[in-house]
Amino acid sequence: MKNYSQISLKLTEFLASYLEKSGAKGFVLGVSGGLDSAVVAALCARTGIETHALLMPTKYSNERNLSDALKLCKDLKITHKIIEIQPILDSFTAQIGEQPSNLRMGNLSARARMCLLYDYSAKVNALVVGTSNKSERLLGYGTIYGDMACALNPIGELFKTEIYELARELGIDEKIIAKAPSADLWEGQSDEADIGYTYQRLDEVLRLVQSKSEAELACEFDPKLVATVFSRMRANKFKLSLPPIASVNGE
């Protein structure tokens, strides 16, 4: 069992130390009313450094999530602003002259939000803080240059199941902890339904992928689950690396 009190302290020290070296004055992040952003907001608030939250709903956003996000910001005493991004999405749809698929609109929503976060970060001289956990990063469950973009990420090495434990250590409202994981990208969207398995089952495999082969894990777990994990990891590995740059020096 990990000591989540020590982890919390280590992560707040990481945030404060990185910010001091950067020369920026504070943090900014998107707060959705979901677990990951709630945990990151709480960590930022614990540093005692100015923290800004942007709440960026669409017409598909769950009202309960917006309500939970507002309450979280008030409880943490962090600056917050609501920016409706539906007009941005509608303008995009009108300009391309077609209705994109759910996946395309989900990616657009994530990138619109990140554009707003980086614009706001320039306004207030703050660092954009990421909210993607290790499970999402390994599986590629996120939008490159969207929700996966950030200046720093305090929870990127914690599996989703560990985020629940950290949330309780941080005193996050149980209503946020108990809700089903969702990026709120379209009506009824669910993270676990998209992937096909619960994070509990996914993390059982993900914890072992660096020490055991796909064949070995297929003997210990549901082969379809293992195949899903490794397939997603292979397909989305590029999201974890900077784009390759061609050499012109013949080396």
The full set of domain ranges for the chain reads 4-193
The b/e string for 84-120 (b: 16+ C-beta within 10 A; e otherwise) is ebeebbeeeeeeeeeeeeeeebbbbbbbbbbebbbeb
Is 22 known to sit in a ligand binding site?
A: no
CATH C-level class of 4-193:
alpha beta
Confidence grade of residue 251 (pLDDT, cut at 50, 70, 90):
low
pLDDT in tens, 119-169: 999 999 999 999 999 999 999 999 999 999 999 999 999 999 999 999 999
131 has binding-site annotation: yes
Is 229 annotated as ligand-binding? no
Q: Is 30 annotated as a binding residue?
A: yes
Average pLDDT over residues 104-120: 96
Q: Is 32 annotated as a binding residue?
A: yes
72 appears as a binding residue in the annotation: no
How far is it, in rounded angstroms, from Cα 184 to Cα 67?
Answer: 14
pLDDT of residue 194: 81
Residue range 44-97, pLDDT digits in tens: 999 999 999 999 999 988 899 999 999 999 999 999 999 999 999 999 999 999
pLDDT at residue number 99:
93
pTM: 0.94
196: annotated binding-site residue? Answer: no
Q: What is the 3-state secondary structure (H, E, C) of the chain?
A: CCCHHHHHHHHHHHHHHHHHHHCCCEEEEECCCCHHHHHHHHHHHHCCCCEEEEECCCCCCCHHHHHHHHHHHHHHCCEEEECCCHHHHHHHHHHHCCCCCHHHHHHHHHHHHHHHHHHHHHHHCEEEECCCCHHHHHHCCCCCCCCCCCCECCCCCCCHHHHHHHHHHHCCCHHHHHCCCCCCCCCCCCHHHHHCCCHHHHHHHHCCCCCCCHHHHHHHCCHHHHHHHHHHHHHHHHHHCCCCCCCCCCC
pLDDT 10s digits, 180-219: 777 666 666 777 888 889 999 999 999 999 999 999 999 9
